[in-house]
A = this chain, B = another copy of it.
């Protein structure tokens, strides 16, 4: 009952297909293509089925040529006339229909919004289409890999996290954003940064400095590091979300800007670098649109405690988990054959402590912006 007026209201608001962006038209075509296979199968008397690429660790591999993690060819078949698969089949179709609705109305929503949009009691039963958001999140990922579209292209976004400031002017949804005039807060990097939403208008930057945390980013912004060094300054609030990774990717490739990462000297910092560089195992199918194999690791390094003459007060003991993670990361195929990286991680373990970027403040409030980073850049002293 609730469904009827909703659909008709939605239909009234549909964008004329010719006014859709080329990307939206493409995504829509892919969704329609998926639906067509069902119709075709039904018409020819076969069981409707979909093949969804397997999102499992065993179906992920490091591509040495492309230098990033990618998905293998394994797929899982999802059939309508199979009791175990009928529900997930139906869920996949629902998500596809939801994405279509968003696209044709020119709207976007959050993962939680998509869950509420699609959740309802199946007619004549007490069964819910989705029991919790985890179910719909997972099916959204299925659809992404199935039709090779980013979640953001399905008009679904995650929480904004990460900010940017510096020598770049961009157009975001038609508004001109001059990142040299963004005050202390900076430009909040949205989740959807596809060319339909964000275009680069002008760029005077020579490189991108990506820092791990908001607090460190703020030190650099306050000291106008981006002005002195003609760069773009970004942070991802820890592990950078997709929007930040995708924007870094676009700026790196489209504007030809090198990316330097300033992260904590601990396994988590190494991991963040690894994700920026080679992609993540979870989102391996998106590596080709997010991974930046040429990203460089500027610091902090395990040698910095001695090189910068830091005091014992700033040491943080490694935990057992840290040690375990460090050993795992040493074995990553993209670190395993790199002597400098092996030495870096060995030295961390030998030190027995980790260091946060903020620890450099014990030298001087602006040591990180005035001495540490400029010196490392001048010396080309980084890992990659």
Instruction: Enumerate chain A interface residues (CB-CB to B < 8 A).
Output: 2, 6, 9-10, 101-102, 105, 107-110, 112-113, 116-117, 119-121, 128-129, 157, 159-160, 163, 171-177, 181-190, 192, 197-198, 214-215, 218-219, 222-223, 309, 311-314, 356, 358-366
Contact = CB atoms under 8 A, between A and B. Distances in A.
A362 B119 CA distance: 8
A362 B10 CA distance: 12
Closest 7 CB pairs of A and B: A172-B183, A110-B215, A185-B188, A188-B188, A175-B181, A185-B190, A184-B190
A210 to B, nearest CB: 17
Given A105-B365, A120-B313, A121-B312, A184 B177 contact: no
A217 to B, nearest CB: 9
Contact of A159 (B6, B112, B215, B222): B215
Nearest to A117: B361
B311 A362 contact: no
A113 B215 contact: yes
B108 A222 contact: yes
A102 B365 contact: yes
A219 B313 CA distance: 46
B120 A159 contact: no
Contacts of A313: 119-121, 128-129
Contact of A188 (B175, B181, B187, B219): B187
Contact of A365 (B101, B311, B362): B101
Given A177-B182, A218-B108, A218-B110, A116 B362 contact: yes
Contacts of A157: 218
5 contacts: A113-B365, A120-B313, A175-B182, A175-B183, A184-B190
A362 B187 contact: no
A314 B163 CA distance: 33
Contact of A172 (B105, B175, B184): B184
A6 B159 CA distance: 40
Contacts of A129: 313
Given A9-B364, A105-B365, A112 B356 contact: yes
B215 A365 contact: no
A185 B219 CA distance: 22
A163 B171 CA distance: 18
Contacts of A117: 361-362, 365
A361 B121 contact: no
A53 B379 CA distance: 51
A281 B171 CA distance: 43
Contacts of A181: 175-177
Given A185-B188, A358-B113, A163 B163 contact: no
Contacts of A198: 183
Given A163-B188, A218-B157, A116 B6 contact: no
